[in-house]
Structures are given as C-alpha cells and as structure tokens.
Amino acid sequence: MTGFSPWLASHLDSLMLWIGVFCTLGFYSVLYRENRVYRFFEHLYLGLATGVLLVEAWNDVLLPKWFDAIFKQGEWWWIFASIVGLMYYFIFSRKLNWVARLAIGFSLGVTAGQEFQAFTNNVWPQIPKSFKPLVPHPALYAPNPLHLPPKAAEAAHIPLLYPQVTVPDAINNIVFTVVLLCVMSYFFFSFEQKSRALKGTAAMGRWLLMFAFGAIFGSTIMARLALLIDRVNFLMTDFGSGVMGPPGPLIVFFILFALCGLMLWMSLRARARGEGTDEPS
C-alpha cells in the first residue's frame, strides 16, 4: 500500500484527465443514439451521484448537527428528529403506514407554513418597483427657501423628490405597464372573457408571452454555448496539451472529427436501410 500513495499523488492529474475524457466521450455517444456505452456511464453516474448524496447527508448534516450535538454537546433531544425521520420507513407496512403519514404531515406543515415568507420575498418587493410614472416631468427637489433651479439645488445637495422623467422614460414606462396588464389579464380563469376588450387584452397577453419566451430562449443560448465551448476546450486544450504536448489539440480535433464522420456515416447507412435510427441497440 505504501507504493500506491505516492504513485497516486504523482499521477493524479493525468488520471483525472483520462477519466474526464472517457466520461465526456461516453456521454456524447448518446448524440448518435442510446447505446451500451452511454448506459454504462449513465448507471455509473447514478451510483456516484447517489453515493455523494449519502456522503453529504452524513458529513454535512447528520454528523455535525445530530451525532455531535447528541454525543458531544449532550443535547439528547435531537433523537426525536431521527425518530420522526425513521417513521417515514413505516410506509412499507400496510397496517402501520399511518405512522409514515404522521411524519409526512409534519414535513407538509413545515413546507406550507414557510410559503407565506416565500410569497412575500418573491413578489412583494416587485409591486412598488412597478410604480412607474407614465407622464414626463422635470426633476423635482424638496421645497427650499431660495427656490434654487435644479442645477444649483443638486449642487447644494437638497433632497430629490422625484427624478426627472424624460419622454423616452415615459414611453418605456407605458410599454412596461401595458405589457404587465395584458399578461396578467391572460391568467384570469374564473370569469368568461365575453367582452371584446377583455378578449383583446387576453389575446395580446398571449402574444406578449410568446414575445417574452422568444427573448428568454435567445438570451439563454449564450450560457449553454459557453458550457459547450468549455467542454471542447477541456478535450482539446486540457487533455490534448496535457497529455500530448503542443500538437495535442490538433490531434484531438482530428480524432473528434473522425468520430463525427463515423456518426454521420452510420446514420446515413441506417437511414438508407430504412430502419429508424432511433431504436436503441
């Protein structure tokens, strides 16, 4: 065992690179279709993730907050938490599953009770932020004895009552308020939208929703592409240069280029033979 530790320490970085490359290419094989290699890495990934869940549950929660609290600080009442936790396991018995419902009832109550705070934190501050002036007006300073013009008042640090609202600001505020009203009117369910006005605002609301969803789609693409660029950088630069030196990136690129060609050739061949390429092997 003594030879293993220094060997592991010295080869740690290259081992990490090789494991990373195998995992990355193993998962990218699903881009062709579901296959045995993908299935193997999927189950390995599931095992690792569940293992980390177990480790984090013990190291981060149970050890410091329950085990140490009871056996080191002597706070014995935390045992009730584990009793309630174990009550969940009675769900498997037909006769005693009301015990599990008692524990589930406790968790439900905690979740429901915290919703009041969640509602206030999520939405409440946004209401005053929606108070936008719709008509342009000059900046207004607190009444001051000398009736200073705006420029001088600002210099004299007299408190500002209302910031200046220019014409473009007013137009933006009108657009903001109209969009807010139309989209909210789309989400009323309990009265028939008979009147033409209401039907119009609801239809406008749905169009504005699609407008907003297109904007969200476009703006999210940047973040996803950044992650793909990082993965390709990992394969070509980190792995390529790390293991094969300066020509590494080019070599890795051509290997990946060949893999793409293979994938396309196999899908064209499958399509020519008329079998749907979406059948998992």
Partner 1 sequence: MEHANTLARCALITFSVVIVAMIFIAGKRDLYIRRIQGLTAIDEAIGRATEMGRPMVCLTGLGINGGIEIVVLQALAIVTYIVRSSAKFAARAICPVYDPQMVPVTEEAVRDAYSLAGRPDRFNPNDILFLTSRQFAFAASVSGLIWREKAAACFLFGYYYAESLILAETGQMVGAIQVAGTPATTQIPFLIAACDYVIIGDEFYAASAYLSREPTLLGSIVGQDISKGLMLLSVLVGVLLTTVCGLLATHGAQIFALWFTQPP
Partner 2 sequence: MRFFLWLFLWLFRWLSTWLFVPRHGRALYESLAGAIAFSIVVLAVLSAAPNSIRKYTIRAVTLLAGAFFACEFLYPVHSMPTGADPAHRGNFLTPYVFTVTTFALIVSAWTVGLGLLNLAQLHGKRLIRGGENAIYSAAFFFGLISVGIIGLLQKPHANAINKNLYTLLYTGALQNLDATVFSIIAFYIVSAAYRAFRVRSIEATLLLATAIVVMLGQTSIGQVMTSHFPTAMHTEVIRDWIMSQPNAAAVRAINFGLAVGSLAVALRVWLGLERGSFFDSQ
Partner 3 sequence: MNVLRFLQTVDRRLLYALLFLTVAIPLLHPIVVPTVVLGRGPLGWLHPTFALRPFVLPVTVSPSTLMVYDEIQSLPPNSFVLLAPDWAAGSRGENGPQTEALMRHLMKRHIRFAMVSFDPQGPIISEAMAKRLQDQYGYVEGVNWTNLGFKVDQQDFLKAFVLDVRGAAPQDYNGKPVASEPVMAGIRSAHDIRLVIDISASDSYTYFIKFMQGPYKENLKMAAALTSVMAPEAENFVSSRQLIGCLVGLKGAIEYEHLLGVSGTATAANASLSAAHVLIIFFIVLGNVAMLLERAARRREDQE
User: Segment contacting partner 1 (CB under 8 A): 5-13, 69-77, 100-108, 247-255?
Assistant: 100-108
User: Taking CB under 8 A as the rule, does residue 158 contact partner 1?
Assistant: no
Please tell me the number of Cα atoms within 13 Å of 250 on its side-chain side: 3
In the window 205-224, what residues touch partner 3 (CB under 8 A)? 219-223
Helix axis angle, 36-56 to 4-28, nearest 10°: 130
In the window 14-73, what residues touch partner 1 (CB under 8 A)? 27, 30, 33-34, 38-39, 42, 45-46, 48-50, 52-53
Q: Compare residues 79 and 244 and give the one whose CB is closer to partner 2.
A: 79
Least distance to partner 3, CB of residue 234, Å:
8
What DSSP designation does 93 have?
S
Which phi and psi angles does 162 have, rounded to 5°? -130, 130
Cα 182 to Cα 120, 175, 186, 202, 270: the distances in Å are 23, 11, 6, 6, 50
Per CB under 8 A, the list member of 69, 165, 235, 252 interacting with partner 1 is 165
In the window 128-147, what residues touch partner 1 (CB under 8 A)? 128, 130-135, 137, 140
In whole angstroms, what is the distance from residue 4 CA to residue 11 CA?
A: 10
Contact 252, 235 (CB under 8 A): yes
Could you tell me which of 107, 67, 57, 66 has the C-alpha nearest to residue 84? 107
Dihedral in degrees, nearest 10, Cα atoms 257, 261, 264, 265 = -170
In whole angstroms, what is the distance from residue 186 CA to residue 208 CA?
A: 10
Instruction: Compose the 165-204 pattern: x for residues touching partner 3 by CB under 8 A, - for all others.
Output: ----------------------------------------
In the window 13-52, what residues touch partner 3 (CB under 8 A)? 31-32
Q: Compare residues 16 and 244 and give the one whose CB is closer to partner 2.
A: 16
Residue 247's binding partner among partner 1, partner 3, partner 2, none (Cβ under 5 to 8 angstroms by kind) is none
User: Taking CB under 8 A as the rule, does residue 82 contact partner 1?
Assistant: no
Contact 180, 130 (CB under 8 A): yes
- Which DSSP string do the residues of 3-32 spell out, in sequence order? THHHHHHHHHHHHHHHHHHHHHHHHHGGGT
Rule CB under 8 A: which residues touch partner 3?
31-32, 219-223, 225-233, 236-237, 249-250, 253, 256-257, 260-261, 263-264, 267-268, 271
Rule CB under 8 A: which residues touch partner 1?
27, 30, 33-34, 38-39, 42, 45-46, 48-50, 52-53, 88, 91, 97, 100-101, 104, 107-108, 111-112, 115-117, 119-121, 123-125, 127-128, 130-135, 137, 140, 161-162, 165, 173, 177, 180-181, 184, 187-193, 209, 213-214, 216-217, 220, 224, 278, 280
